[in-house]
Amino acid sequence: MQTSFADLPTLQSAVYPALVLFALTAIVFTWFTVVYIKRKGFGNPDDSDLYIDCAYFMEIGKRPSQQDSVFISNLSDYKRYGITALVADGMGGMEYGGEISEKVAKFVEQMCPLSFFATEQNSDELRRYSNELYDEYKLSGGSTLAMVHIAGNYMNYYSVGDSDIILVREGVPTILNPRQNYMALLIKSLCRNNKQTVSAYNNPKSRALIDFMGNQNPRVIYTKKPIRIFDGDKIIVSSDGLTDAVSLRNMPHYFRDGASATALELKRAVASRKRPKQDNYTGIVFTIKRSPF
């Protein structure tokens, strides 16, 4: 059968939609491939070269009991699930502060392994558990929560209260999470009205938490986009017992190459202050290094 010139418009009308469909399919396939590569980390050749060194300290200070709690996921699962680390600081002076901090740590352990790309859902779970604590304890206790999830070359964090998550890059420490206490509200209000902030620091209620685990529907602060980490970075998750004793400005004096050495120096630094009302002080230290192998 021969094709006449009269049949060409019919062939063209069939070919053009097919070409458009093929192009759209290729675009969608390419997009999904790029997303998959990014999520798996294949697009970052350095991923396989990084390894995590971890250490922690947990001291009672001048308090009658230890109300801080710690959880660190199994380091042997790092390649598959990443590492989850938590510091929960029980609210001092409250009957069930230590008990609630322990429950928060156990709940996070039960949540593991966390999904790295489900930060909103993870934060919802933490908020839901806080409501359970609220129903059980009726504000007769509470705990902070400072948690990181490190996977490959990236980190997410979650925070409720005033415990600190510190990223150290090129020797410079930066606190990533805002403190949820009355002082923060006072400072924001004073700045908005162009007033000096010194009164906020002198306010006797400034240390009171406005959000904590055990409160009803607390605001869980979490990363909307993972934070890129690099060779040489340090990550410190700590209760405020550390950062109240050792200022961020002086902290670099105690940094060492390894996580264990840094943790030991920070612990010694707090003890050397000999503060008469030293709170419990706890810190988890991660160092990010290039693998020598």
Backbone angles phi, psi at 274, to 5 degrees: 50, 45
The lowest-confidence range among 25-29, 103-107, 277-281 is: 25-29
pLDDT tens figures, 124-163: 999 999 999 999 999 999 999 999 999 989 999 999 999 9
Residue 21 has pLDDT above 80, yes or no: no
pLDDT tens figures, 215-251: 999 999 999 999 999 999 999 999 999 999 999 999 9
Where in the chain are the domains? 5-40, 48-290
Whole-angstrom Cα distance, residue 216 to residue 214? 7
When pLDDT is averaged across residues 206-210 and rounded to a whole number, the result is 64
pLDDT tens figures, 164-190: 999 999 999 999 999 875 445 444 554
Cβ atoms of 251 and 234 within 8 Å: the answer is: no
Cβ atoms of 183 and 210 within 8 Å: the answer is: no
> What angle, 0 to 180 degrees and rounded to 10, lies between the N-to-C axes of helices 119-137 and 97-111?
150
Alpha-carbon separation of residue 246 from 66, 249, 251, 293 (angstroms): 20, 8, 6, 36
pLDDT tens figures, 63-118: 999 999 999 999 888 889 999 999 999 997 778 999 999 999 999 999 999 999 99
Quote the pLDDT of residue 210: 80
Confidence (pTM): 0.78
Fold classification of 48-290 is Phosphatase 2c; domain 1 (3.60.40)
Cβ atoms of 237 and 277 within 8 Å: the answer is: no
* CA distance from start to end of the chain: 68
Whole-angstrom Cα distance, residue 236 to residue 157? 12
Alpha-carbon separation of residue 159 from 112, 162, 166, 223, 293 (angstroms): 17, 8, 12, 9, 35
User: What residues does 57 pair with on adjacent strands?
Assistant: 283
